């Protein structure tokens, strides 16, 4: 995202329209995932990867989440 306010509702819906599952990576307690849940249809599976300890989300954590979700 380039901006979180105003939240890009249409862009998120367009990007996610081709997906059944969405993974949201956040370096916080999950503020953006709530906005994504708000704009997407209820039939979308939304999963999160969150870190709030000052460290980045690692490629291994992303792969583990992909394996879990897929």
- Extents of the domains making up the chain: 9-69
* CA–CA gap between residue 48 and residue 62 (Å, rounded): 10
49, β-bridge pairs:
25
For 31-64, the pLDDT digits (tens) are 999 999 999 999 999 999 999 999 999 999 999 9
Quick check: 50 and 2 in contact, CB under 8 A? Answer: no
pLDDT at site 62:
98
Q: What is the gyration radius of the CA atoms in the chain, in angstroms?
A: 12
pLDDT at site 4:
84
pLDDT at site 6:
92
Q: With H, G, I as helix, E, B as strand and everything else as coil, classify residue 48.
A: strand
68: tokens are 């879990």
Give the percent of the chain with pLDDT over 70.
100
43: tokens are 């039939």
Higher pLDDT, 47 or 1: 47
């Amino acid at each position: 995202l380039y901006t979180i306010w105003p939240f890009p509702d249409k862009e998120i819906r367009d990007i996610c329209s081709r997906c059944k599952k969405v993974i949201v990576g956040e370096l916080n307690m999950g503020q953006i995932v709530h906005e994504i849940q708000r704009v997407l249809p209820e039939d979308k599976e939304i999963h999160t990867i969150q870190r709030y300890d000052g460290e980045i989300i690692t490629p291994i954590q992303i792969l583990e989440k992909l394996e879990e979700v897929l």
